Structure 1
């Protein structure tokens, strides 16, 4: 009942989710990597359009993200990969539910879009939480026969995933949505596995390859279970990020997941060849620094997986919970709520995770290596 009421409010008939973020000239200049004067000069000489102004005060209204990206294009500061760089296809994967997987996907996608990257999010989970946060009602706005991965995964289906790509209200982010129809697909694929394992396992990888030239980063949000879709995601990805909360049950589950994944990948390699990953990292999620048990388990995680743990952690935050309750993210909040200390702390945690993931991604692109060395990061 609560979910239905929420959906009635968020997905009101005829409503369309919009991004209300506006950036002042100082923030825009920082995002573009140029001075405020350089931006104003470009507006004066016509390289950039004059900004919209308030009719009463004659003050600038602020810049949209699309306008900031236009500035980046003019000044040559868009961070896109070079054509010869491989697209980064990262699965945010854990076979256990409730670890913050979808929360991580949507916040990472929006962080990377704010940085100027071209991002595609593929929702492979029939629960469709990621689809809902991006403003689509999975029950109404998404047709499983036309809009999701489902038709592509069938024999004789479309030759590429272009049919399913949707622009979102976030400049720079495209989405392939999901709905409950993907749940039924699991059983169909399992039944066909014995007859044609290579097709089932590699079909998603082929689909990702069919659209990869349009994007810098593709994020895969798989279901929280060891099923055919999850196995397909493991085959399609070239990097893995594993969220794991610091409690005994989730830590044990993650350890089992890693062992299971190792044996699963070995078995998959027998059917379709080995799959290598640019990186596999574990991210501590839902971390509460005030809980001694969390601190103790985090130390244990760092000791057991010293090379695999990310330095940043996704902290447990009421700010994330409150935003999620309204099918939003922390990055799209505006107004007085963004001036609280709680919001600023939460934003700092999310930015730290985003920056670390961004660095891992950039290290996979040879064209970025020179700049990374210049920045002392490689």
Structure 2
């Protein structure tokens, strides 16, 4: 039988991949310049620093005068303070006893930002939430479980150059006979308080490794990630999981490892339908897995409306429907569609990393309000799971 010829065959697909690869290389060459590392240039004035650490400006200056805090850097030309870094603010919190860490007896929060559909803003939420929590003084670990490695790139690593799947990602841990803890994969980042377990394309092989192990082993291997996270949880307040946008072995492992879930869902018909399907699949899948690995519950499951455009009547209508269908499950905060997020992402950055004149625009200020509201509401849900925070939450009028 004569083999049929097609207009688009493997050679054409290879050419498409090569052209796309060259574009990515140019972008990464610009963002990840040779010999440089990504840095956090955000500085806070004394008023903002005082608000962040829960003390007055006078308390900060008194602590500097009596030596409890170092003398702040000053501009040699103007002799004015150049501002405080996040590390400086955390040092203040340590001196004043206002770090918000959970107590040793409180469980670390393992929070998955999960939806089986791509393009819903999952990685955007992970990166901004991690940085919001870090600014508040929490110890955060971001675990990139997605072989596309978007979150890894945002945190300053070139997945193709800086990350070795045989040594740096979750892949070795998932392999038979792999490491017994996840300490090997932890990487410090340029953000004080944030550690990263990175990903790259090689992590996709873990899907096959998992499938093979499910066939040949009697153990319930889908709890492997959960066990691994327990080996590092004492170092963190919050562990954020960024899973692949698909139902696979890694996504199932994330469902088993998390003790809370936030589901990002844009308010349009297609994405809302996909979210409803995701929740149905999640329920069915967890029921099936419970028969083998035991029942798995969550401290909270919340739906976050993302990419909301108030100018679109369809978005408003679907958001009202979401509120009606999930009255107790929707976060009140909404992550609105913003050019500020898109512009930052084009440079593999977040809105929280922008500095200079860009931060004085009304667009930036509005976007920060949306992001802070999302972070604050999720932070509250996390704190509710920590017994040591109960008294403070009552004092704040939250409980």
TM interval, short-chain normalised: over 0.9
TM-score (norm: length of structure 1): 0.99
Q: Is contact 1:197-1:271 (8 Å) kept?
A: no
1:74: which partner in 2? 95
Q: 1:7 is matched with which residue?
A: 28
C-alpha separation in 2, matches of 1:111 and 1:41:
28
1:157 to 178, 188, 195: 178
Tell me the equivalent position of 1:241: 262
Distance in 2 separating the partners of 1:199 and 1:63: 48
Structure-2 residue corresponding to 1:254: 275
- The aligned counterpart of 1:278 is 299
Q: Distance in 1 between matches of 2:47 and 2:314?
A: 42
The 8 Å contact of residues 238 and 276 in structure 1, kept in 2 or not, is answered as: yes
Q: Conserved in 1, the CA contact under 8 Å of 2:182 and 2:229?
A: yes
C-alpha separation in 2, matches of 1:188 and 1:362: 36
- CA drift of 1:199 comes to 3.9
| TM-score, normalised by the number of residues in structure 2 | 0.94
Instruction: For residue 196 of structure 1, report the CA deviation from its aligned partner.
Output: 2.8
Inter-partner Cα distance in structure 1 for 2:117 and 2:97: 42
Correspondence for 2:233: 212
2:68 maps to which of 37, 47, 55: 47
Name the SS of the counterpart of 1:19 in structure 2. Answer: coil
> Unpaired runs of 5+ in structure 1?
none
3-state SS, counterpart of residue 243 of structure 1: strand
2-side partners of 1:344 and 1:126: how far apart?
33
Render the CA deviation track for 1:344-367: whole Å, top value 9, x for unaligned: 000000000000000000000000
1:64 maps onto 2:74 in alignment:
no
Structure 1 residue 171: deviation in Å?
Answer: 0.1
CA RMSD of aligned residues (A): 0.8
Q: 1: distance between equivalents of 2:125 and 2:270?
A: 20
Residue number in structure 2 paired with 1:97: 118
Query: Is 2:136 the partner of 1:115?
Result: yes
In the other structure, the counterpart of 2:311 is 290
Give the equivalent residue in structure 2 for 1:315. 336
Residue of 37, 40, 55 corresponding to 1:34 = 55
**1:200 Cα offset (Å):** 2.1
Q: Report the equivalent of 1:340.
A: 361
Separation (CA, whole Å) in 1 of partners of 2:252 and 2:217: 14
Aligned equivalent of 2:148:
127
Secondary structure of 2:111's counterpart equals: strand
Aligned to 1:327: 348
- Preserved CA contact (<8 Å) 1:198 1:271: no
Q: Deviations over 1:211-246 (max 9, x none)?
A: 000000000000000000000000000000000000
Q: Is the 8 A contact 2:302 2:331 kept in 1?
A: yes
Superposed displacement of residue 291, structure 1: 0.4
The structural deviation recorded for 1:15 is 1.5
Q: Which residue of 2 aligns with 1:299?
A: 320
> Are residue 169 (structure 1) and residue 190 (structure 2) matched?
yes
Paired residues of 1:25 and 1:63 also in contact (CA < 8 A): yes
1:374 aligned partner: 395
User: Number of residues paired by the alignment?
Assistant: 378
2-side partners of 1:198 and 1:282: how far apart?
33
Q: What is the CA distance between 1:197 and its match in structure 2?
A: 6.3
Q: Deviations over 1:19-59 (max 9, x none)?
A: 00111100000001000000000000111011011111111
Q: 1:265 and 1:79, CA in 2 relative to 1: closer, same or farther beyond 3 A?
A: same
Q: 1:365, 1:318 → 2: CA distance?
A: 36
Please report how far the alpha carbon of residue 307 of structure 1 lies from its aligned counterpart in structure 2 after TM superposition.
Answer: 1.1
Unpaired runs of at least 5, structure 2: 1-21
